[in-house]
Amino acid sequence: LTQTLTVTKPNNASVINTPRISPTTAYTSDTLLGYCNATDDDEDNITYYHKWYNDSVLYSSGNDSGGNTQGIEVNLNNISSSWTTKGENWIFSCLGNDGTYNSSWLNSSAKTIDNEAPTSAARIAPTTAYANDTLIGYCNSTDADGDTIQYNYTWYLDGSTNTTGNDSGGNTQGIEKNVANISSSSLAKDQVWTLSCLANDGALDSSWTNSSDVTIGNLAPVMNTSIILHDLHPTSSSIIMTSQFS
């Protein structure tokens, strides 16, 4: 008598590894990348299900089409930078299915959207200037978080600090601001003037940014008066003209 014993190996559910959000440090200008990874002792292919949470509230969910190799991390779903705001906490949750069984849901670490420092720019008008002009100093800034901006400025004359200051703040990012001027009484031919600006969003500073240099040009002289003298003589006459310039 011969007996055949058939042993069926039980299918084991997949095990989800800790999901991951990239980048490590995230700002409002970044896209959040959500990754899932599951291991399966039976080496079954995996279908992933995901959930995004924003400040513990379900934001979106879905799944991919399956066929993923177990043990290999997959970028499953992303959150556009246009959907994030400074101070939010995002969590990515994953579940793996091996065609028969589901793993448990597992959450990533929370990813906080950090404050991003503003940028700054500086400009002097006019770009071609003379000693009878006023130099007009402008600062500008972009801030990815949309924060209002306070400007700090420094005027340099021939490379040395001439004057410094700041405005009262509350400036809309992306809109140029006239922060401080240099009057014509302070200008002289061949001087080189530079404006430097720093932007603060209430928490973080930009770097200092310099304008292009403006060199005070040479003014052409102006003729104020002309005097014509007639020299009358019995045998000849001449005209003499004298001019005064300033």
| Predicted confidence pLDDT, tens digits, the chain (246 residues) | 676 766 566 788 999 999 999 999 999 999 999 999 999 999 999 999 999 999 999 999 999 999 999 999 999 999 999 999 999 999 999 999 999 999 999 999 999 999 999 999 999 999 999 999 999 999 999 999 999 999 999 999 999 999 999 999 999 999 999 999 999 999 999 999 999 999 999 999 999 999 999 999 998 887 666 555 555 555 555 555 555 545
How many Cβ atoms are within 10 Å of 175's Cβ, its own excluded? 9
**What integer pLDDT is reported at residue 197 of this predicted model?**
98
Q: Which two tokens stand for residue 69?
A: 């190799």
> 184 in helix, strand or coil?
helix
> 81 in helix, strand or coil?
helix
**What integer pLDDT is reported at residue 236 of this predicted model?**
52
**For residue 86, what is the DSSP state?**
T
How far is 189 from 212, CA to CA, in rounded Å? 18
pTM for the full predicted model: 0.76
**What integer pLDDT is reported at residue 220 of this predicted model?**
80
**What integer pLDDT is reported at residue 222 of this predicted model?**
72
How far is 117 from 29, CA to CA, in rounded Å? 11
Q: Is the distance from CB of 239 to CB of 224 less than 8 angstroms?
A: no
Residues in CB range of 30: below 8 A, 6 or more apart: 23, 81, 84
Query: Given the DSSP bridges, would you call strands 74-79 and 57-63 parallel, antiparallel or unpaired?
Result: unpaired
Residues in CB range of 220: below 8 A, 6 or more apart: none
Q: Which two tokens stand for residue 50?
A: 């995901």
> 27 in helix, strand or coil?
strand
